[in-house]
Structure 1
Amino acid sequence: MMLSDQLVVMQKNETPPCISIVVALEGAQDKKAALQLVNQSIEEAADHLRTAWPDKAASLVNAFNELLNNYTYSPVHKGLGLYVAPNYNKLFHFSFPVQAKVCLGEKFAVRELLYQEQYGFEYLVLHLEEKKVQLYRGQMDRLQQIKDDNFPLDFDNEYDYTPATGGERVKDKSTIIGLRQQNFYRVADRKLEAYLHGQVLILTGPTKDIGYFEDVSTHKKELTASIHGNFSGVPMKTLEDKVWPAVRSFIELRDQQVIPSFMNVSPSR
């Protein structure tokens, strides 16, 4: 079930108490440290439950422990959200820094989930240059370079130019270079197929290279923005600072289908 669907289920929950635990994981170096932080928050929630809902405390604490039994640690997660009610329990990972909190009430405290829904989606950045194509996976304002059998992709002489009409070779040097470059980017576009599953795609690179790629790409519907300039060899932060404003612009223009329906959620939760 997608996050937006989960938010609908959570909003409709009418059986209190609804316990929302948000755990900050930035200081946790491994699973053991992460579990220690989570258990501290669960114990805090348990203390409140024993006072306010003593008849439901044991079963709700057990529900939290069941969530932890299926917890998989990853250093890329910046936080966890655990949400439990008498008829609901779910664990979420947050891709952005969060502030720890424990909330008990009639409704779930879903501010972090709303933020995740709005900003935490995954996107791809394809950096083009004459001799190399690099692919990055992005979330929020952070990028991670993909390094595998497909990318980075280096140019070599196998990207030959196409014969002209009548079987004759094109003799103009600039035309040959352009055709070879397009063939190179055509190969990159085919390899991109393994990573694109409806995500936003942003192109970066010199203007002429972006033009070559756009001429041959079969993924035009995913292309969201083009950022012109050669960012090869620059610090990752430089590229992130260039890309994130384009992603934010996309988010701001995107038709909001989920957030308005939750505007009645109290901001204090």
Structure 2
Amino acid sequence: MADPESGREGCRECCSQEFKVSNFLSGYDRPHHFVQFQCGKQIPYLVWRVIWALYHVVWIILTGVFSWQWAGPDHNQQIKWFIYLTDWCYFMLTLSTLIDLTCVIYTRVNRKDICEALAFANPWYFKFNWVVFNVANTCSITVSMLYWGLLYSSSEEMTAVNIETHALNAVYVILNLFVTGIPVRVLHFWHTMVYALVYVLFSLFYTLGGGTNHVDKNYVYSVLDWKGSTGYTVGISIAVTFVAMPLVHCVCYGIYRLRLVLCCCDDGRVIDSKEVELTYQDNPSYTADKDTN
């Protein structure tokens, strides 16, 4: 039988493996993939994670520092950074890089069994990391598409922050998807749908509660005008949450499958759970992670 993680199995076998009910959850029997490049390199991957965590932390700070570029000098308008989907998504992207880095460092210090590809259960922190990873990837690409497709105006002044949060964010996501060892599951599409639904509800209650955007319009985005164009807004919200987000997630999955084909690296190890348990029985973090759900 072909290995479903090697990228070399047939279409039928791929589908049978990918659409198992268990793949709605975050169980994974090769957690070492979360701390390495697809090609298997771990130390360079740690450096990669450090660089991108620092990069996105700096940029998310700059989006706040330079909020006057879109909100003007009024601090009451600048605080509205927190109402925009762009900033929600960039926050998730930054959070994802920080969690990635934390997981890699923690694993190298405390979970040698994972680094040596001897563990067979996904610890809770990798599961959490996976959810944030999925949300950050899909949201970043989607928000860039929505901005350039629905909101961008040629009369708008283009700033470095604008380019970073609406273009370079998506470039990073695609690049990272091509090299990281973290897998993508089709059935994880619901992660980003939940996040999008939370934002839609936020924009609804914010608007109905009298909230305004940075130019005092009674909506956050013109395409989410709950008071002026309710029907259109509902349609856009449904289309983005239940159509665009899952489709973009499938694009991320496609990049993942292409990555497997281009880099057919697999450790080929057969894990003996009893042997691993004996080897790492004194490691409390290992014994706490035995479930595979």
For normalisation by structure 2, the TM-score amounts to 0.25
> For the pair shown, which has the larger CA radius of gyration, 1 or 2?
1
Q: Between the two structures, name the one with larger relative contact order (CA 8 Å, sep ≥ 6).
A: 2
More strand per residue: 1
* Structure ranking higher in helix proportion: 2
| TM-score, normalised via structure 1 length | 0.26
